[in-house]
A = this chain, B = another copy of it.
Amino acid sequence: MIWNEEIECMSREDIEELQLKKLQNILKYAYDNVDYYHNKYDSMNIYPEDIQTLKDIEKLPFTTKDELREYYPFGMFAVDPKKIIEVHSSSGTTGKPVVSGYTQKDIESWSEIIARGLSMMGVTDEDIIQNTHGYGLFTGGFGIHYGAHKVGATVIPISTGQSRRQIEIMEDFGTTVMIFTPSYGLYLAELAIEEGFDFKNSSIKSIGFGAEMWTNEMRKEIEKRFNAPAYNIYGLTELMGPGVGIECSTQEGLHISEDYFYPEIIDPETLKTQGENTKGELVLTNLEREGMPIIRFRTKDISSITKETCQCGRTTSRMTRITGRSDDMLKVKGVAIFPSQIEKALLKVNNIEPHYQIIVTRPHLMDEIEVKVEASKELFFDEIKEMMNVKKKIEEYIESEIGLRVKVTLVEPKSIPRSKGKAVRVIDTRDIH
């Protein structure tokens, strides 16, 4: 079923006409209501009325995550905070996290976008969706939740964790749709088989997965284990949350809700806009957003775009799955992590050296992080108990910073290799590219 046929099957001409109108409106709105855009456009001598075609968007400056961070917490809001009814936030990095604000209308837009995507996955009001995405400041859980409400499906807001209970519920509730990160899905499948769950005769008919990078092999493995097709969901907190792009049953790229998002691909080095089917960094613009309109956001995610009509009949642009990043962000268990966050946590602890290494592995389907930190000479020759205290403290500070528990290993002073240029801070042995 196509949720909103009028929009999703609109001719390219009509959609571009609609996009231009919306782009002109939101640029004026952003310029009038957000200091950041006002000052930046003024200083560059470019104004909303200069945008007369969609291609004119290239005249506008990009917005980066670092810039959004400078306006922490509410500086990017285009409305009186009274009109904001919900906030979410990306995980904090070196500086402050990015806060995303939503008005009532924005929550309705988000619901509509996800309702379209769930429909692409074959979800109707008869389905039972087990949503294992985390609820909280993270947008993953709520986006799916609101969209499920819109579709009229039953949502089980179980969130991540309690894996044995997840399996009990899959069985007892007759779950028809699973939502998970690929690695958690693979872990659940394995546990389920151990517990005797029968995937061949289960009621699961569709899977939505996202918030992590994945390979086609991982998708095939998930589909084989769950005996159901798995669809990719992409999004990011800064622009709204999950739902920017969602795969249909054709599984050839993620459909972008182009009446809400204007996608571009740029070369991350030259910053020039790329044509169709060329890989580069995805840049996104909110075409409709009251709370916090974001213009030309550099996602750092590597993708490409096609405007060809899909076999499913939808005419919306499709992006390919994300195959990399143009910066040093890590995604572990679905959470975005920068080495700088680990560094920030380490700086709070005494008796250690500022040398560390982050080792990301996937020993058994689930991501794991180990952080190796050099102990100070004094600490290294101190009692074991004191070392344990320091180790525990580091683990707590890192968890507080990134929201994930990591394993910390204190190593001998000077045992982490030094390098002359950029230090090799991250060793990622997961095969996700």
Contacts and interface: CB of A to CB of B under 8 A. Distances in A.
A159 B135 contact: yes
A390 interface: no
Interface string A260-299: 0000000000000000000000000000000000000000
A126 B82 contact: yes
Interface string A95-120: 01001010010010000000000000
Copies of this chain in the oligomer: 2
Given A82-B126, A126-B82, A158 B135 contact: no
Interface in A151-178: 152-159, 162-165, 172-173
Contacts of A152: 82, 85, 104
Size bracket of the A interface: 35 or more
A245 interface: no
Q: Which of A73, A101, A126 has the most CB of B within 10 A?
A: A73
Interface in A373-413: 399-400, 403
Contacts of A99: 173
Contacts of A92: 165
A137 interface: yes
Contacts of A142: 157
Contacts of A400: 162-165
A428 interface: no
A128 B128 CA distance: 33
Interface string A179-200: 0000000000000000000000
A136 B158 contact: yes
B128 A81 contact: yes
5 contacts: A82-B125, A85-B148, A86-B155, A135-B159, A165-B400
